[in-house]
Chains A and B, each alone.
Chain A
Amino acid sequence: MLLKTVFVRLLTTAITLFGVAIVVFVLVRVAPGNPIAMMLPPGATEKDIAALNAVYGFDKSLAEQFIIWLGGVLHGDFGTSITLRQPVAELVLGRLPATLELSSIALLLAVALGGCVAVIGARKRGTGTEVGLDLTSGAVLSVPDFLWGLIFVLVFGVLWPVLSISGRVDPRIDIDFTTNFYIFEGLLRGRLDVVGSTLSHMLMPAMSLALPLAAMIAQLLKQNLKEALTQDYTTLARVRGFSETAVILREALRNAALPTLALVGVQFTFLIGGTVIVERLFAFEGLGNMAIDAVINRDLPLIQGIVLLFAALFTVINLLVDLSYTFLNPRLRHG
């Protein structure tokens, strides 16, 4: 049952990615801006342009170019970056860990923060505390992630400079890791200096990404908790002597988490989308920052590689959300 689900999802994922590949391939080529023109000095002749076009294969028809590129992709060759002159796969996979760590930490922060606020709100339902929390989360929700980034830079980078506002890690630290997962590998190797520096650099961008999602989780989870707290099984738990907090945590939370999870999955993909601007803001060396450079430089192979990777990431996350949904809800487990 579960295996079949996974298989079907992998198949639809492949189809989705193929569609994304076509769209992005065509789009970057019909959009104004030409990478070749940007590479040549002013005053280059038509002949110069045509010659360089031929070097990169841009003289061929769109369909031909696509087939050549797709053939490479199927062999794991995503082409070569025009500006950085390195294999796209290498560049993109080198940056992926930074973005994965950033968005995972942001997700953790959002769930922890939003979860706590939701539980407190449900515990204090019907009081001024609940109203206060509702108003606060409403306000937090209405400020987008990049604006939070700017606010943080202003407060903790300029007015009260306690946190570093750029980069992923202190450049003075010598890092000889095999992967680019600084937090993960740092923990495994016991290099707490790397972990600490990475986390302190990550705090502001992660908080910027986490706050809107945290507010959303706080509101939705609280609503679902309040719903669960009117159910008979919670009443029975109260009769059996459990305190209201125990009833919320032990009886209501897992039931309320189910509908919340569906939203978190969707919103997490938006959060990853948000890394593009937020990484730029904090000069964080991740995929998003690279994506902006690639777009500015019209680095077509690199744009394609990054977009494809983002698309793959989104589908994997959706799959994980669906699987965890099955795991959390016993009624779905036996199908």
Chain B
Amino acid sequence: MTMTTAHAHTLDIINLNIALPRGQRLLRNVSLQLEPGEVRALVGESGAGKSMIGKAVLGILPHRIKRTEGEILLEGAHLNAMTPATRRSTVAKMSALIPQDPLTALNPVRKIGPQITDPLTRIHGWSHQRALARARELLDRVHIRAPDRVMHSYPHELSGGMRQRILIAAAFAPSPRLIVADEPTTALDVTVQKQILRLIRELQRETGTAVLFVTHDMGVVAKISQKVTVLFAGRVIEDAATRTVFENPAHPYTQALIAATPTPNVSAEPFQPVPAALITELHRETLAADALYAQRGRR
């Protein structure tokens, strides 16, 4: 089942294409790697397909959207070669998700405690005591003051920031090799965003978990990641070290994205929107690539 090589990437996506039933592509020949302990940011505007990559890895693509081509390897194991049940348990054991909206990601009618410990006991096969101790430890780590009281609470009794910290604790609890963070700060207000970001970065460093961090915020990219993948219309526009991307962006679109990021520095130039001509050019390229892809498919 697994084809582990001497040095396996934590995540290896090779030429991934996913499409709607009628063939319209949402991801176009996407390839990217994630080394152990690395944080890679996926940036792009809404609809660029950045969330789709995470969903494809975790196996939660909306059911009409299908992978048409390409491979996904988790710790060297080919996910697409597995039966659905094996894929599900493999992904669950190796990876976790920090969702976008903490207000809807916790089950409203279940207490917090079981929502953290259930996967540990039922999927990872831990004892109840061990799971409970781990939940307490992690809740304490994410600065939840009274872990036992919180575990007996229902989601509606807690604030959005607290719920996101709980979801972070739950994601790190089984010590996954990979965490997909799907815009985990977007639904929170600005003051809470900073804390959450710091918390994810700290926990990531302590545990050495690789993180695929989906965001549209270049400011967040600079703070958290070592590598960046810039996407436009489901295509990888640029893939480089974060420092390189900020100091010397190769693609004009990346340059424009950085220029479009507001800074707290008032003396700096007012931020610039991405130029219309550039967007037009990118669309032209995308259509050309699709035409080529369709032609190749017909042959």
Residues of A with C-beta under 8 A to B59: 238-239
By the criterion CB–CB under 8 Å, are B119 and A330 in contact?
Answer: no
By the criterion CB–CB under 8 Å, are A255 and B97 in contact?
Answer: no
Nearest-CB residue, chain B, relative to A235: B60
CA distance A71 to B119 in the complex (A): 63
CA distance A239 to B63 in the complex (A): 15
Interface residues of B in 80-127 (CB under 8 A from A): 85, 88-89, 91-93, 95-97, 99-101, 104-110, 118-119, 122-123
Interface residues of A in 195-251 (CB under 8 A from B): 231-233, 235-243, 246, 250-251
Q: Type the 1/0 row for B58-73, where 1 means its CB is closer than 8 Å to any CB of A.
A: 1110010000000000
How many residues on A have C-beta within 8 angstroms of the other chain's C-beta atoms? 24
Residues of B with C-beta under 8 A to A334: 157
Residues of B with C-beta under 8 A to A255: 107-109
By the criterion CB–CB under 8 Å, are B106 and A233 in contact?
Answer: yes
**A75 close to B (CB within 8 Å):** no
By the criterion CB–CB under 8 Å, are B91 and A330 in contact?
Answer: no
By the criterion CB–CB under 8 Å, are B109 and A328 in contact?
Answer: yes
CA distance A75 to B88 in the complex (A): 67
Residues of A with C-beta under 8 A to B104: 231-233
CA distance A255 to B93 in the complex (A): 27
**A254 close to B (CB within 8 Å):** yes
CA distance A331 to B156 in the complex (A): 7
| A243 in contact with B85 given A126-B63, A231-B104 (CB within 8 Å) | yes
Interface residues of A in 89-136 (CB under 8 A from B): 126
**B246 close to A (CB within 8 Å):** no
Looking at A239, A258, A328, A331, the one whose CB has the most chain B CB atoms below 10 A away is A239
CA distance A250 to B108 in the complex (A): 12
By the criterion CB–CB under 8 Å, are A254 and B85 in contact?
Answer: no
By the criterion CB–CB under 8 Å, are A331 and B108 in contact?
Answer: yes
Q: Among the listed A235, A239, A246, which residue makes an inter-chain contact with B96, where contact means beta carbons less than 8 Å apart?
A: A239
CA distance A225 to B118 in the complex (A): 21
By the criterion CB–CB under 8 Å, are B107 and A251 in contact?
Answer: yes
The smallest C-beta distance from B135 to any residue of chain A, in angstroms, reads: 14
CA distance A210 to B236 in the complex (A): 58
By the criterion CB–CB under 8 Å, are B88 and A243 in contact?
Answer: yes
By the criterion CB–CB under 8 Å, are B58 and A239 in contact?
Answer: yes
By the criterion CB–CB under 8 Å, are B92 and A331 in contact?
Answer: no
10 A-B pairs in the complex with CB atoms less than 8 angstroms apart:
A236-B167, A237-B107, A238-B59, A239-B96, A241-B88, A241-B119, A250-B118, A255-B107, A328-B109, A334-B157
